[in-house]
Amino acid sequence: MDWICNSSYSFDDENFRKIFDFYVLKTPVNHVSYRGINLKKRNIRNYKMLYTEMKKRLSSSTFNHFIYIYDGQKIEEEIIKNGIVNFHDENVQESNEIFEYAIYKVLPKYTEGSSFFYLIRCALAHGSFCIHEYKNEKYYYFSNYHKNTTDGKKKLDARMCIKEKTLLEIIKYCDLKI
């Protein structure tokens, strides 16, 4: 279920720069960034608090699927069950509406919320993302893997599609909580 992510990005783009700065350099995940203010200090106790606030601030249909799971083996099952297909740069289908989703594994030593931020951070930091425009909206596609120590195969930890507008709103909300 690999994605082909060949889209370009530029640090000249102010929104991309803000997103990269917050999610990578100033990530609010404990012990990951010395520049960031963690979720606890922002008074964001759990992902439900963040998700509820996002639903209030954005259109009611912003996230069709926001699923976190504890068993990484089930991520691929959830992707298929929810009708999320492989994404390729060359063939965005005009007939299909793009919807936002985040399907990810809660990582050991992390909460649901900190896993969400950490997995976005890793996708951006390691180049496992692509940006596409559809109907005048930018969508960021994130994919995150880890190498299984027993068999050496890549295991999927996250697959997300999030509007640029949503990523920026999350930053605004987190900054308000300082």
How far is the C-alpha of 166 from the C-alpha of 54, rounded, in Å?
8
What percent of the chain is modeled with pLDDT above 90?
Answer: 18
How do residues 83-115 score in pLDDT, each as one tens digit? 665 544 344 444 356 778 888 888 888 888 888
**Mean pLDDT calculated for residue range 154-174:** 88
**Mean pLDDT calculated for residue range 148-174:** 86
At residue 1, does pLDDT exceed 50?
no
**Mean pLDDT calculated for residue range 116-144:** 90
Range from 48-62, 73-87, 161-175 that averages highest in pLDDT: 161-175
Rounded to 5 degrees, φ, ψ at 60 are: -65, -20
pLDDT at 84: 67
Both tokens of residue 85? 């297909």
How far is the C-alpha of 119 from the C-alpha of 69, rounded, in Å?
13
How far is the C-alpha of 63 from the C-alpha of 92, rounded, in Å?
19
Contact by Cβ (8 Å): 122, 27: no
Average pLDDT value for the chain: 78
> What is the pTM (predicted TM-score) of this model?
0.82
Please tell me which residue, 113 or 142, carries the higher pLDDT value: 142
How far is the C-alpha of 16 from the C-alpha of 109, rounded, in Å?
29
How do residues 44-61 score in pLDDT, each as one tens digit? 776 677 777 766 665 545
pLDDT at 110: 84
pLDDT at 70: 66
Both tokens of residue 39? 């979720």
